[in-house]
Amino acid sequence: MRKTILVIIVTLLLLGDFSMIANASAGTIYETESNNTHSTADVTYNDYDNYGKISSSSDIDWWKFTTAYEGCCNVWLGSIPSGCDYDLYLYSSSGTTLLASSTKRTGSQELIRFHLSANTQYKVKIQSYSGYSTSKNYKFRVFNYPLTPAHTKNLLWNIESIYYYVDSSASIYTSTIADAAYNWVYTGFGWNNLYPNTQTSNISDSAIDFYSYYSPPVNIGGVTVTPLGETSHYAREYGTYGTPYIVNADTEDWLFNEIRINNYAFSSNPSSSLATIVHEFGHAFGLAHNNDNVNSIMCQDIYDRVVSTVQDVDHWAFVKKHP
Ligand SMILES: [Zn+2]
């Protein structure tokens, strides 16, 4: 987006992203037989440790739980007794619509990851593929992760006509920006309603302008942190053609974004900026921080994010923001 005046670069610590350098379960439940049908399923809850036995070749254990909020869910079966092969199935509350399954033929655990609706009951079936044990428990857990939060306000640019511009100051990041851009188009959890999210050489066509800057580590509250990148959301004073100014994405819609990548952190190894650029793209599209979940790309690096690409909680948050 072309500027009508020189925009003074401001450092927004709240928007900036920085680098620096387990919890116990909520409770324990043992199964109550007979729970061999979905209508007699044992009740469990988010983050509980659940134990049960598959005590004969015909024994089937059903569990049910109700979500508190929309999110993504790990349904995990572990401690499968040695010599046994148990499988895990996730059903809708009717007990007849299979939503997902995990049926590995090796190892002692099964895992389903699934996008769950809010305030909805789900049912889980555990049964033997081979073997059973009258003495050894399996362990079963459900853990529900909230979707990545979104900013209250919106990017006004048509999400189906998004191009980005790379200023010469950020040219060393061009291929990494392209990788990050494509990661939001196809996340691995599905195609997003986002087109084409490719580079344009005409800044007037750009909804997201990339620049670099240079900042050595800074002191925040007595902690030394290295800035990685930052996203600024811009509206215009007089509509589409007025003077650009930075807005708070929770109080005002915005027309376009500027993303800055810190050369201090990345210029010696530009491709190592992938996670930061994917994260900043997320801000440009209206997603906020998800610092409670280290498996979200919208977790800040200072909160020990462990992923470098879009995850399920981020994908479904984007879908919700841009249906
Ligand atoms: Zn951030």
The residue among 192, 178, 159, 197 whose CA lies nearest residue 317 is 192
CA dist., res. 55 & res. 53, Å (int) = 5
Span from the CA of 47 to the centroid of ligand 1 (angstroms): 28
Provide DSSP, 235-288: EETTGGGS-EEEE-TTTS-BSEEEEEEEHHHHTTSGGGGHHHHHHHHHHHTTB-
The residue among 117, 133, 105, 114 whose CA lies nearest residue 76 is 114
Span from the CA of 288 to the centroid of ligand 1 (angstroms): 7
Span from the CA of 278 to the centroid of ligand 1 (angstroms): 10
| DSSP secondary structure code for residue 201 in this structure | S
Q: pLDDT digits over 184-198, tens only?
A: 999 999 999 999 999
CA angle 271, 290, 317 (to 5 degrees): 90
pLDDT of residue 1: 52
Beta bridge partners of 102: 88
Question: Are the CB atoms for 293 and 304 separated by under 8 Å?
Answer: no
Span from the CA of 54 to the centroid of ligand 1 (angstroms): 46
Span from the CA of 155 to the centroid of ligand 1 (angstroms): 16
Span from the CA of 265 to the centroid of ligand 1 (angstroms): 15
Span from the CA of 34 to the centroid of ligand 1 (angstroms): 49
Provide DSSP, 47-106: TEEEEE---STT-EEEEEEE-SSSEEEEEEEE-PPTT-EEEEEEEETTS-SEEEEE--SS
CA dist., res. 255 & res. 308, Å (int) = 27
The residue among 79, 78, 31, 82 whose CA lies nearest residue 59 is 31
Burial of 95 (0-12, 13-18, 19+ CB in 10 A): middle
Span from the CA of 118 to the centroid of ligand 1 (angstroms): 26
pLDDT of residue 8: 31
Helices (H), 114-221: 174-185
pLDDT of residue 169: 98
CA dist., res. 144 & res. 210, Å (int) = 35
Span from the CA of 291 to the centroid of ligand 1 (angstroms): 9
Span from the CA of 16 to the centroid of ligand 1 (angstroms): 6
* pTM over 0.85, yes/no: no
CA dist., res. 166 & res. 209, Å (int) = 6
CA dist., res. 50 & res. 287, Å (int) = 34
Structure tokens at 298: 């919208």
Query: Backbone phi, then psi, for 285, in 5-degree steps?
Result: -85, 0
Please give the distance of CA 7 from its chain centroid, rounded to a whole number. 32
Looking up tokens 């020990």 gives 304
The residue among 249, 247, 213, 253 whose CA lies nearest residue 230 is 213
Give me the half-sphere count of Cα atoms (radius 13 Å) on the Cβ side of residue 229.
32
- Domains of the chain in sequence order: 17-21+150-321 (3.40.390.10), 34-146 (2.60.120.380)
The residue among 319, 323, 150 whose CA lies nearest residue 250 is 150
Residues of the chain with pLDDT under 70: 1-24
pLDDT of residue 250: 97
